[in-house]
Amino acid sequence: MNFTELKEFLDEKVIAYNNTKFIETDPIQIPHRYSLKEDIEISGFLSSTIAWGNRKMIIKNADRMMTLLGNSPFDFVMSHKQHHLDDLDGFVHRTFNALDLKFFVQSLKNIYQNHNGMEQIFCKHGTETSLQPAITKFKSVFFELKHLPRTQKHIGDPFKGSAAKKINMFLRWMVRNDNAGVDLGIWNSLSPAQLSCPLDVHSGNVARKLGLLTRKQNNAKALVELDNSLRELDAKDPVKYDFALFGLGVFEGF
């Protein structure tokens, strides 16, 4: 396919998958349950943090997290006492366990109390065309409290070579207002032009088949290459093509 054909093909796939039917099988359904901005942020952040592996299991365990937080995640985060964290014992999703979840709750409280919330951190440290530097800064703030070294692996760092798939997906949810009822678009201080594709096995493989990506590993360098390719297709909303790449890989076996 030439450039025009490729763009038309992918634009059609965006329309096919960027609609409310997508929510039924995706962890984005968790933050869609809430109306309070902070509930949407926290439920989205925690759900995206465990978004690897079987999608049904991701949704099941994200739902369990919300139940453990009393289905009021912001209230739990801000008002919890040390003994309330005992309620989280027994939670596990793959390598993310109760110890990690307890720290995440404590760190989120620190961020809302002392850093004016998650949005402010990303807003301050992004560039016009990238939030990757902001992800690195966010990780440093997130782990400024005493923590177990093992917990750090649950947030990727682009400056250490990570494609940071999970947090890039969370940022897509928060920033991109797609007018289709999928991405929530509640962070008005940031622009979709700053977003990067949540690069995973599915989107990476499809991107390589379409000539959008040549690097073999799904790392930070590959993400930069894919970002550049998607910005040629649409500089204002490059990450809309995540729907096309993911849908082609997961639902069509492209």
Looking at residue 219, what is its pLDDT? 97
pLDDT grade, residue 242 (50/70/90)?
Answer: very high
Instruction: Report in angstroms the alpha-carbon separations of 22 from 64, 134, 191, 254.
Output: 21, 28, 22, 18
Q: How far is CA 223 from the centre of its chain?
A: 14
pLDDT grade, residue 182 (50/70/90)?
Answer: very high
Looking at residue 227, what is its pLDDT? 97
How far apart are alpha carbons 114 and 186 in whole angstroms? 21
pLDDT for residue 16 is more than 90: yes
- What is the overall mean pLDDT for the chain? 96
pLDDT grade, residue 136 (50/70/90)?
Answer: very high
pLDDT for residue 160 is more than 90: yes
Provide the 10 A C-beta neighbour count for residue 128.
7
Q: Which of 187, 211, 42, 43 is nearest to 122 (CA)?
A: 187
pLDDT for residue 125 is more than 90: yes
pLDDT tens-digit map of 39-84: 999 999 999 999 998 999 999 999 999 999 999 999 999 999 999 9
pLDDT for residue 1 is more than 90: no
How far apart are alpha carbons 41 and 118 in whole angstroms? 8
User: Helix H segments across 115-238?
Assistant: 118-125, 132-142, 165-175, 201-209, 220-233
The range of the structural domain enclosing residue 210 comes to: 3-250
Overall domain count for the chain: 1
Under a CB-based contact definition with an 8 Å cutoff, are residues 243 and 18 in contact?
A: yes
How far apart are alpha carbons 80 and 98 in whole angstroms? 15
How far apart are alpha carbons 131 and 117 in whole angstroms? 16
Percent of the chain with pLDDT over 90: 97
Any idea which residue has 């799904």 for tokens?
A: 218
Q: What is the mean pLDDT of residues 78-103?
A: 96
pLDDT for residue 151 is more than 90: yes
Looking at residue 253, what is its pLDDT? 86
pLDDT for residue 183 is more than 90: yes
pLDDT for residue 140 is more than 90: yes
Under a CB-based contact definition with an 8 Å cutoff, are residues 199 and 244 in contact?
A: no
Under a CB-based contact definition with an 8 Å cutoff, are residues 231 and 129 in contact?
A: yes
pLDDT tens-digit map of 198-232: 999 999 999 999 999 999 999 999 999 999 999 99
Q: How is residue 34 written in tokens?
A: 């809430």
Looking at residue 92, what is its pLDDT? 97
Q: What is the mean pLDDT of residues 123-145?
A: 97
pLDDT grade, residue 152 (50/70/90)?
Answer: very high
Looking at residue 173, what is its pLDDT? 98
